[in-house]
Amino acid sequence: MKIREVKGIGEKTERLFQKLGVFTTQELLEFYPRNYDWYQPPITTDELDNRQIAAFLCVITTSPVLRQTKRGSVLLLTGKDGCGSEITLKWYNMPFLRNKFKIGNHFIFRGKVTANHFYGKEKAQGKYTIEQPEIFTREEYEKKLDYLSPIYHLTQGLSNKLVTKSVRQVLDSDYPCYEFLPELIKEQYGLISYREAIEQIHFPTDHKAMEMARKRLAFQEFFLFILALRKFKDEKNQSINRYPIPAAPQTDDFICKLPYTLTASQQRVIDEMRKDFLAKQPMNRLIQGDVGSGKTIVSIIGLLDAVYAGYQAALMAPTEVLAAQHYEGITRLFEESGINAKVELLSGSMTAKAKQEACERIASGDSDIVIGTHAVIEDRVKFKNLAFAVTDEQHRFGVKQREKLAEKGERPHIMVMSATPIPRTLAIILYGDLDISVIDELPKGRLPIKNCVVGKEFRKNAYRFLAGQVENGHQCYVICPMVEESETLEAEDVVSYTERLRTELPKEIHVEYLHGKMKPAQKNEIMEEFAADKIQVLVSTTVIEVGINVPNATVMMVENAERFGLASLHQLRGRVGRGSAQSYCIFVSTSDKAETKERLDILNRSNDGFEIANWDLKLRGPGDFFGIRQSGDMDFKIADIYSDATTLKEASDAVSYIEAHSRELDPGTMQMLENKLQNYLENSFHINL
């Protein structure tokens, strides 16, 4: 049923929902809350630790002061919490509250807390400020305690209240939530029904009910994903290798001419790749390795072997900037080595004429190696004899896109490369249709990155350090967790932070920002300017995790580092240290918790991505659902491979059981499951891994 059929959703609101990827009522039910407004017991300011929103039991210490401004009135009040800290309370355009408060009264105030806040030139009366706080008596707050109110991802014009109301309407209309998991699977793993899970994820009766709902929905996401992967693997196992590719003497000659010696790890992976080239089935191999471990040169050796065997090869990158960098690097390398292979660049921003001419060369076989973005898998791109296809930064491409690339030839050899460090136990499950190789050592001579974990009081020193690095001819990244300022989240945002740095840093330093909500052309322009050193300091979200290689960048500064997973932080760190100069990583934490410091200090002790990923897995406990997700690499709707690692393994075991006992299970349930899988393959199987 289309979302327009829900009462209260007109044409304008329908378009807003569609911007969020919600077109049907089923997609609305699967538009899960990103977090919950949780009414927790009141605390004191010394227990704050960077909370988004908190409640305080305060005694009123001053009479209310009402001030008039050009935009209306401001009501100011001061109270003291249980540890004696003064809190300034501030309401806009609510003068009627003035008569509610008297010195000595006790109230519970709840809202977003800001430390050391200023009102224009005038400093706040207290050390902390809460703007527009909710007001409760103790009895009123007691009734709210532990209540969980859903918070959704929104777009401008769409309110949380409207989303909540729309979901409630669909659920109240007895919308059919068909059960497709066999009863014995639900019993084995303690799963509630699908209907109850949908109800409780949007409107949980308590914290435990929310966790049970989340477990069920994460389980079924993993379950369907693994089932789909196994289906793909079965089909691939029936394929025949139509493109036997022997190791070419010319390629070995190329390896000898490289200006460096390959590591033992790289050589091992090359041997595995060449063995696959001559196997009965076509290669389907994942190459995992830290940023800078030398995955690209391994793929180039495979591309050359394919060309010398008389075939075409392709390499697909996630961004135009990275595709162009690959093209320039490979072209230069071939020229220096006297290799005559014709390399073609294909990207979405090319003119229609240039793209058409490139497509003609590819179709005729004049192009030996094609390097490009998603444009490579467009329907109009036809290869003459594609035998080997590589996808770089695999976690940015969906499984379906991988298949579409494979369909460009008669089941060519597929290699996918990823710098995302995933513990091997999870990688075996998540990449179930691929064999896995790991490059687990860095090239010799690479200077290790110097790391430090600091508090927010270090920022001024950090800004001076950034300025010093720019003065020495280098460039810097600054990462923030958010795009724009949030009313509910106390964290740095890209837009405001850019303005701050433009004030703090010398005027001659060009500071720009980059985030995922920008148009592709804008993002490419910013990344190209940074790569060309026209921008010295780039403030960004984690969108720069892939897609740009700037050897001149020597500093990575991450704000609110406690809000990122360790694996994400390590991958961000990999954006620097790619040149000959010493590089640095500054992790700024706004948390005072000992366990947060302990977690971030792991990055001080290790530069090994797989060791860090294992620590991430070990330290992320059940229930850590919302604070420290990875940055979107594993793009499941609700599941997270670190917080839900146990559930992932259970789902994998459940799929194995279903496959082994399918004939013994209820035919009706199996048909329901088959229908669900088919629907999943057609509409949802786009997980980026």
Say whether both 433 and 496 belong to one domain: no
The helix/strand/coil state of 689 is: coil
Taking the model in full, what pTM does it have? 0.72
Burial class of residue 11 (count of CB atoms within 10 Å of its CB; 0-12, 13-18, 19+): exposed
Say whether both 581 and 536 belong to one domain: yes
Q: How far is CA 500 from the centre of its chain?
A: 25
Q: What does 199-251 look like in DSSP terms, one character per residue? A: HHHHS-SSHHHHHHHHHHHHHHHHHHHHHHHHHHHHHHHT-------PPPHHH
On whether residue 17 sits in a domain, the answer given is no
State the number of CA atoms in the 13 A half-sphere of 449 facing the CB.
31
Cross-strand partners of 471: none
- Please tell me the total count of domains within the chain: 3
Q: Are the beta carbons of 335 and 342 closer than 8 angstroms?
A: no
Which pLDDT score is estimated for 394? 52
Please give the Cα distance from 106 to 97 (Å, whole number): 15
Say whether both 82 and 54 belong to one domain: yes
Say whether both 384 and 490 belong to one domain: no
Say whether both 403 and 528 belong to one domain: no
On whether residue 264 sits in a domain, the answer given is yes
On whether residue 234 sits in a domain, the answer given is no
- Please state, in angstroms and as integers, the Cα–Cα distance from residue 19 to each residue in 156, 158, 517, following that order: 10, 10, 12
On whether residue 617 sits in a domain, the answer given is no
Residue 472: partners with Cβ closer than 8 Å, 6 or more residues away: none
Of the residues 86, 121, 144, the one at which a domain ends:
144
On whether residue 614 sits in a domain, the answer given is no
Which pLDDT score is estimated for 51? 56
On whether residue 428 sits in a domain, the answer given is yes
Say whether both 276 and 359 belong to one domain: yes
On whether residue 64 sits in a domain, the answer given is yes
Say whether both 455 and 493 belong to one domain: yes
Say whether both 497 and 560 belong to one domain: yes
Say whether both 114 and 54 belong to one domain: yes
Which pLDDT score is estimated for 677? 84
Say which amino acid occupies 405. Answer: L
Helical (H) or strand (E) element with 548: none
Domain residues for 45? 40-144
Burial 36-72 (b: 16+ CB within 10 A, else e): bebbeebbbbeebebebbbbbbbebebebeeeeeeee
User: In residues, how long is the chain?
Assistant: 689
Of the residues 580, 606, 632, the one at which a domain ends:
606
Which pLDDT score is estimated for 121? 37
Across all residues in the chain, what is the average pLDDT?
86
CATH of the domain at 65: 2.40.50.140
Q: What residue ranges of the chain have pLDDT lower than 50?
A: 117-125, 395-396, 487-488, 622-625, 627-633, 687-689
Which pLDDT score is estimated for 49? 63
Say whether both 418 and 461 belong to one domain: no
CATH of the domain at 391: 3.40.50.300
Phi and psi, residue 54, nearest 5°: -145, 160
Of the residues 551, 572, 606, the one at which a domain ends:
606
On whether residue 636 sits in a domain, the answer given is no
The helix/strand/coil state of 504 is: helix
Say whether both 599 and 475 belong to one domain: yes
Which pLDDT score is estimated for 645? 86
Say whether both 314 and 346 belong to one domain: yes
